[in-house]
Amino acid sequence: MEPQALGVYIPVVSPNQLCRWGEAANTNSVTKYRDTVKNSITSPFPYNQSINSKVILWDGDISLLQVDAVVNPTNESMTESNPVSDRIYQRAGNSLTDEMKRDIKECRTGEVKVTQGHSLSARYIIHTVGPKYNIKYQTASENTLHTCYRNVLQKSKELGIRSVAISVIHSVKRNYPPDEGAHIALRTVRRFLERHGSSLDTVIFVVDKVDLGIYEVLLPLYFPRSKEEENVARYQLPKDVGGPDGEPVMPDRQIRIIDNPQHTLQTDEECVDLSPHLEVSLGEHATFSQMQGDLDRQRLLGERSLSDPIADLMLKEIQHQERYEKLLRRARTEDLTEVSGIGCLYQSGVDRLGRPVVVFVGKWFPFTKINLDKALLYLIYLLDPIVKGDYVIAYFHTLTSNSNYPSFSWLREVYNILPYKYKKNLKAFYIIHPTFWTKMMTWWFTTFMAPAIKQKVHSLPGIEYLYSVMAPDQLEIPMFITEYDMTVNGLRYFQPGGATT
C-alpha cells in the first residue's frame, strides 16, 4: 500500500507481482502441425526466453503500476477523455493538469510528450496521440501507429527508463481495428527488445477485458514461449510481419508504376493495382466501398463502358441480391419449426442504445444433425427485419462441444450469402465464455474470411461484462449458462435487476 494525499491509501501494483510472459507457457494448448512445407523457413520471431522474461500482459488499472513510466493515449489537444486517461489524471492529481497547461499544451499525432508522474507511483507519464483509421489511408494509419509505439520506446531509452507500462494506443474510438493495431504494437516492441533489450527490464502491455482476448491469441506469434509455439506461429503470422523496426511493409498496397511512361496523365485511381489479394485481405466491406467509390467516379465522368470491371461488380451484386431475395421468400413460406424449436437463436431485448440483441446459444446448435439449409433459412427469417437497423449479437460458447462447431466452409457460405446490410448494421459481436481455441479460430475466420466485422468482435470472460452495454433484465439466457458463469466467476455474478450476490 502507498499513501496518497489526505492520508488516503491506494493499492500499488509492482511488476514483481505479475506473471512474466515467459512464465505463462502452456504448451498443452499448442496445436501440433506436421512441419513439412515450412521446414526450411526461419521464423521471423524465434523463441527467446530472455525477451519473454521482460514482457507482461495485464488487464488492470495502469495508474496503479509502480513502474518508471506509464503511457497515456490522448488527442492532439491533450484533452481526450477515455478510461486510461481518466484514471491517470484522477490519480496523478491537479498538479498534472497544471503541468500540461503550463508546459505541454499539445502533441501532434505520432509524437510523444513527457510529464512527471506526480501522485502516481510512476516517475513519468509518456503521452502520445494515435492515428485515426481510414481504410482509404490505411498505410498512413499503420505507419503512424508504429511511430507512436516506436517513439514511446525510444523516449524510454533516452530517459533511462527500465520499466514501462504501455496502454492500447490504437483506439477503437478512432475506428482503429483492435487486432490490426495489436499486431503493430507487438511486433514493434519485439523488434525494439531485440535491438535495445539491454535498455529495458520490463514492458507491460496493459489492456482491458475486450483487448485481452486479442493479445492472448497474438502474443504467442511474436513472443513464442517454446519451439512448438514458434513453429505454429509461422503458419499463423500475417503476410506483413514488418521491417527491421516492426514498421509496416506492404508492397501490394503501393501505387503501381505504369508500363507506358507516356501515359503521364493517368490518375491515381487508374494506377492502383486492384489485385485479388486486395479483395481477400480487406474483405467484402472494402470491396463494396471500392465499388461504390468507382461507381460515383463513373457517374461524374459519364463513363458507361460495360467492359469495365465495375460493371462486372455491379452484375455480381445484383445476382447476389437476387439469390438472397429467393432465400428470403423461401424462409417466409417454408415450415421451419424443426429449427426454431431448438431455441439456439432468438432475439432477447435491446441494449442500452435501444439496439436489438440477438442471442445464439452454441451448446444448443446440433450442427452434425440439423438440416443446414433450413438453419440458413431460419437465420434469414429471424434476422432480415432486425438488420434493417443497428443490432448486436451475443454468442454464448458456454459448455459448447465439438459436435456444435459449424464448419468453416458452411460459415463462409453463410457469410457470403448474407447481404451487405448484415455486416454494416452489426455493431458488436460478443463471444461470452470463449476458450483459447475459440479465440484462435475467431481470429482466423475474421482475418481471412470476414475482415469486415473483425473490429466488431469482442471476447468476454463472463456475463457481467455484457451489463455495461445492456441492462440485465434485457438478457434472457438459459439457466445452465448463468450456473456455469457463477461457477467460474464466483459470487460477483450480476443477477437480473441489477442486484449482485
Which whole number is the average pLDDT over 256-264?
38
Give the pLDDT score at 267.
Answer: 38
Residue 498 has pLDDT above 70, yes or no: no
Computed over every residue of the chain, the mean pLDDT equals 81
pLDDT band at 321 (very low <50, low <70, confident <90, very high): confident
* Length, in residues, of the chain: 501
Distance CA 134, CA 148 (A): 17
* Residue type (1 letter), 252: D
Q: What is the pTM (predicted TM-score) of this model?
A: 0.56
Here the cell at position 166 is: 504501455
Residue 15 has pLDDT above 60, yes or no: yes
- Collapsing DSSP to helix, strand or coil, 114 comes out as strand
* Residue type (1 letter), 135: I
Give the pLDDT score at 130.
Answer: 94
Helix (H) or strand (E) holding 196: helix 178-196
Give tens-digit pLDDT for 335-350: 998 888 899 999 998 9
Residue 371 has pLDDT above 70, yes or no: yes
Which domains are assigned to the chain? 2-236 (3.40.220.10), 268-332 (no CATH), 337-492 (3.40.525.10)
Distance CA 307, CA 303 (A): 11
User: Which of 12-16, 24-28, 152-156, 177-181 is least confident?
Assistant: 24-28
pLDDT band at 309 (very low <50, low <70, confident <90, very high): low
Q: How many CB atoms lie within 10 A of CB 378?
A: 22
Give the pLDDT score at 251.
Answer: 52
Give the pLDDT score at 311.
Answer: 64
Residue 156 has pLDDT above 90, yes or no: yes
* Residue type (1 letter), 127: H
Closest CA to 86 of 61, 105, 69, 107: 61
Which whole number is the average pLDDT over 48-56?
96
Give the pLDDT score at 112.
Answer: 96
**Are 204 and 219 spatial neighbours (Cβ–Cβ below 8 Å)?**
no
Distance CA 416, CA 451 (A): 12
Give the pLDDT score at 313.
Answer: 62
- Collapsing DSSP to helix, strand or coil, 1 comes out as coil
Give the pLDDT score at 319.
Answer: 77
Which whole number is the average pLDDT over 131-151?
90
- The residue ranking higher by pLDDT, 211 or 407, is 211
Q: How many CB atoms lie within 10 A of CB 162?
A: 14
Give the pLDDT score at 398.
Answer: 94
Residue 5 has pLDDT above 70, yes or no: no
Residue 51: which residues within 8 A CB-CB, separation 6 or more?
A: 190, 193, 194, 197, 223
Burial class from Cβ neighbours inside 10 Å (0-12, 13-18, 19+) for residue 349 reads middle
Closest CA to 433 of 376, 380, 493: 493
Q: Which of 295-299, 304-308, 402-406, 489-493 has the highest mean pLDDT?
A: 402-406
Distance CA 223, CA 215 (A): 11
Give the pLDDT score at 451.
Answer: 81
pLDDT band at 9 (very low <50, low <70, confident <90, very high): low
**Are 445 and 350 spatial neighbours (Cβ–Cβ below 8 Å)?**
no
Which whole number is the average pLDDT over 470-486?
90
Would you give the DSSP letter of residue 494? B
Q: How many helices (H) and strands (E) does the chain have?
A: 16, 13
Q: Which of 3-12, 236-245, 357-366 has the highest mean pLDDT?
A: 357-366
Give tens-digit pLDDT for 170-224: 876 778 888 889 999 999 999 999 999 999 999 999 998 878 888 988 999 999 9
Residue 283 has pLDDT above 90, yes or no: no
Give the pLDDT score at 259.
Answer: 38
Residue 163 has pLDDT above 90, yes or no: yes
Distance CA 151, CA 128 (A): 9
Which own/partner contact pairs does 492-496 have at CB distance under 8 Å and 24+ positions apart?
A: 492/464, 493/462, 493/463, 493/464, 494/463, 494/464, 494/467, 496/472
Residue 271 has pLDDT above 70, yes or no: no
Residue 116 has pLDDT above 90, yes or no: yes
**Are 390 and 429 spatial neighbours (Cβ–Cβ below 8 Å)?**
no
Phi-psi region of 311 (alpha: psi -120 to 50; beta: other; left: phi over 0): alpha
Closest CA to 143 of 290, 245, 215, 280: 245
Would you give the DSSP letter of residue 82? -
User: Which of 114-118, 200-204, 483-487 is least confident?
Assistant: 483-487
Residue 444: which residues within 8 A CB-CB, separation 6 or more?
A: 236
